[in-house]
């Protein structure tokens, strides 16, 4: 499971790794639908917010739209899929091979609760865009205690 990386500067690498592992274990226990490991390539993503929604942009060059899956709840979104390897023929000899292929899975946590019923996803020119409405903030309710 992957997270949005926050870099604090030099010397915090070990702390960051331990925090990611702890959060990974906690979230997998709390929400099994988002468990799993990441293999293959890891799409670059941007996450930002507007006044009304959270927006995720993911670079998916070479991935067929039918190979993509998006699952979300009010706290996180899981993007998974497969980038199929391009056949190059038996005689091909690589001099450089940097393009990763195969299955990928990326789970990103929202910076605030969202409304999973209000989501749109579009895919064009190798970019996946997911827009999710922010959840309405509810004011606390007073609860009457029964006898």
Where does residue 108 rank: exposed (0-12), middle (13-18), buried (19+ CB within 10 A)? Answer: buried
Q: How many domains does the chain have?
A: 1
Report yes or no on 45 lying in a domain. Answer: yes
Cα(70)–Cα(114) distance, integer angstroms: 15
Report yes or no on 5 lying in a domain. Answer: no
In the chain the beta strands, taken as DSSP E runs, fall at 45-49, 53-59, 69-72, 76-83, 102-109, 114-124, 127-134
Averaged confidence pLDDT in the chain: 80
Report yes or no on 111 lying in a domain. Answer: yes
Report yes or no on 20 lying in a domain. Answer: yes
Looking at per-residue pLDDT, the higher value among 7 and 101 belongs to: 101
Q: What is the pLDDT at residue 105?
A: 93
Give residue 12's pLDDT band: very low, low, confident or very high (50, 70, 90).
Answer: low
**3-state DSSP assignment of residue 95:** coil
Report yes or no on 42 lying in a domain. Answer: yes
Report yes or no on 143 lying in a domain. Answer: no
Report yes or no on 76 lying in a domain. Answer: yes
- Structure pTM? 0.66
The CATH number of residue 71's host domain is 2.60.40.790
Block residue for tokens 């490991």? 37
Q: DSSP secondary-structure letter at 100?
A: -
Cα(135)–Cα(111) distance, integer angstroms: 11
Query: Furthest-apart CA pair in the chain: how many Å?
Result: 82
Provide the residue range defining the domain that includes 28.
13-84+100-134
Report yes or no on 6 lying in a domain. Answer: no
pLDDT higher than 50, residue 33: no
Cα(15)–Cα(64) distance, integer angstroms: 37
């Amino acid at each position: 499971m992957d997270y949005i990386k926050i870099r604090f500067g030099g010397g915090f690498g070990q702390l960051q790794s331990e925090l990611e592992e702890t959060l990974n274990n906690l979230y997998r226990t709390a929400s099994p639908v988002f468990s799993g490991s990441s293999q293959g390539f890891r799409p670059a993503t941007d996450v930002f917010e507007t006044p009304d929604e959270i927006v995720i942009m993911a670079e998916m060059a070479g991935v067929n739209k039918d190979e993509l899956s998006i699952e979300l709840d009010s706290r996180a979104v899981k993007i998974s899929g497969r980038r199929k390897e391009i056949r190059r023929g038996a005689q091909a000899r690589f001099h450089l091979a940097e393009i990763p292929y195969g299955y990928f899975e990326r789970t990103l946590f929202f910076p605030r609760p969202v409304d999973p019923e209000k989501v749109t996803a579009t895919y064009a020119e190798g970019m996946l865009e997911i827009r999710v409405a922010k959840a309405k903030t509810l004011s606390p309710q007073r609860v009457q205690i029964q006898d």
